[in-house]
Structure formats: structure tokens, C-alpha cells
């Protein structure tokens, strides 16, 4: 692993760990706020101060964790347990769809990062093109399924929980007579397109960084495809 790659990994982890803790705490407080609204409880300015304090503390905890663990994490980044990485990916996917207010842009970016990780992990492991082709296809399918799985409930929620006019206008924009069934079909079609887009973006990213500078990407794709 060269210095540029090590620096890029360190930068992602240095920003990502505090941000992940901050986001987790933020959504926990949103859940508590919703619960307080249902029960009629309120803590006023004291509650707001507590929220700010805990959020700041979560960032500080993330920084301390980075100080203690960052070097070790960077060195073992491509040997990390894949079950743990998959679990973290799923958590980040759920948090990201909430952070972007139901728009799956952040999830698409996560899928691309997963593809980049797969490509570089297999590069450093010296994986043969045939085995890498299977790994590349798996990360594409997995990330595509995840983005569709997190987008589908958001779409159905928009259809049945007060945002039907938005869905209706989108359906009618493609010259389809609107009905509930048409709305559901439209959402399923969009999720399928998202899944397909994510598949190719994640897989393309993995291929691009898997020994990509040693040969032309088109040659690499051809070799992988022939051995699949």
C-alpha cells in the first residue's frame, strides 16, 4: 500500500468514525424527541443543551478512538473481517438514507466505496481475475439490493403517507394514467433502476482500481468477463 492510498484511507476513517457516532446519536435523539411528542413530555432548553452536549461528546469520542486505533486500522484495512464490514455497510446505509431525507444519493456513493474497497482488497491479496470477477459481481449485487431495499420503503411511505401528489405527478410525467397500482409499479420500477445503476457503478469502481493502472480498463473488463 503506497502513501497516497494510506493517506486516503486514514482520511476516510478520521472523518467517518466521528461522523458515524454523531449520526447515531442524532437519530437516537430524534427518536426520543418523537417519543416525547407522543407522551407530551418536554425538557425545554435543558433538553436542547443535553442534545448539544452529547453530540459534541460523540465527536470527541470518535476523535479519541481515531487517536488510539487509526494507525492499526489503516494497516489492517484490507484484512478486515468481511462480516463486520458488511454489518457496518448496512448500518451506514440505513443512516445515510435518513441523513439525505430519503434520497438515495448517499447510498449510491456508499456502493461505489464498497466497489473501490473490493477492488483494492483483491488487488492487495493478489486475487486472480477469475476469482475477482466473482467478488466484483457479488459486491455489485449486494450493494444494488441494499439500495433498492432502503429506497422501497421510502417510496411506499411517500405514496401512502401524505405525499401521493408527488408520486402522482411523477407517474403522469411519463404519460401513465395514475392509480395506486400505477404508483406502486412506478416505485418498483424506480427501485429496479436504482439497483441496476448501483450494480454497475459498484462493479465498475471495483474493476477500475483492480490493477487498473497496469492495463487498460477495457482489457481488464474483457479478461474478467471471459473467465466468469
Pair 212, 158 in one domain: yes
Around Cβ 193, how many Cβ atoms within 10 Å?
Answer: 11
d(CA 205, CA 213): 13
Q: Which helix (H) or strand (E) holds 26?
A: helix 3-39
* Residue 18 grid cell: 466521528
Structural domain including 46 reads 1-75
Q: What is the pLDDT of residue 214?
A: 47
Q: What is the pLDDT of residue 195?
A: 95
**For residue 157, pLDDT beyond 90:** no
Which of the listed residues 53, 75, 97 is the one where a domain comes to its end?
75
d(CA 219, CA 133): 13
| Total count of domains within the chain | 2
Quick one: pLDDT band at residue 117, thresholds 50, 70, 90? very high
Pair 50, 122 in one domain: no
Pair 147, 69 in one domain: no
The predicted model gives 37-58 an average pLDDT of 66
The predicted model gives 210-221 an average pLDDT of 57
Pair 60, 109 in one domain: no
Share of the chain above pLDDT 90, in %: 46
Quick one: pLDDT band at residue 93, thresholds 50, 70, 90? very high
Pair 71, 85 in one domain: no
Which 3 state secondary structure label does DSSP give 21?
A: helix
User: pLDDT: is 135 or 43 the higher one?
Assistant: 135
Pair 48, 111 in one domain: no
Pair 102, 213 in one domain: yes
Amino acid at each position: 500500500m503506497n502513501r497516497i492510498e494510506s493517506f486516503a484511507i486514514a482520511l476516510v476513517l478520521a472523518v467517518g468514525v466521528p461522523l458515524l457516532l454523531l449520526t447515531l446519536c442524532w437519530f437516537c435523539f430524534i427518536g426520543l424527541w418523537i417519543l416525547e411528542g407522543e407522551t407530551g413530555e418536554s425538557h425545554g432548553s435543558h433538553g436542547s443543551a443535553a442534545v448539544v452536549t452529547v453530540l459534541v461528546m460523540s465527536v470527541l469520542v470518535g476523535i479519541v478512538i481515531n487517536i488510539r486505533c487509526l494507525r492499526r486500522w489503516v494497516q489492517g484495512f484490507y484484512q478486515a473481517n468481511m462480516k463486520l464490514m458488511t454489518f457496518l455497510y448496512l448500518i451506514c446505509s440505513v443512516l445515510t438514507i435518513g441523513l439525505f431525507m430519503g434520497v438515495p444519493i448517499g447510498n449510491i456513493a456508499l456502493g461505489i466505496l464498497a466497489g473501490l474497497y473490493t477492488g483494492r482488497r483483491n488487488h492487495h491479496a493478489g486475487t486472480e481475475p477469475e476469482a475477482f470477477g466473482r467478488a466484483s459481481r457479488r459486491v455489485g449485487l449486494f450493494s444494488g439490493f441494499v439500495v433498492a431495499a432502503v429506497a422501497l420503503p421510502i417510496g411506499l411511505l411517500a405514496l401512502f403517507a401524505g405525499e401521493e401528489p408527488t408520486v402522482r405527478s411523477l407517474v403522469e410525467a411519463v404519460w401513465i394514467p395514475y392509480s395506486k397500482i400505477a404508483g406502486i409499479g412506478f416505485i418498483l420500477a424506480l427501485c429496479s433502476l436504482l439497483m441496476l445503476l448501483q450494480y454497475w457503478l459498484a462493479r465498475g469502481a471495483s474493476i477500475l482500481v483492480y490493477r487498473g493502472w497496469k492495463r487498460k480498463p477495457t482489457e481488464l473488463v474483457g479478461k474478467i468477463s471471459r473467465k466468469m
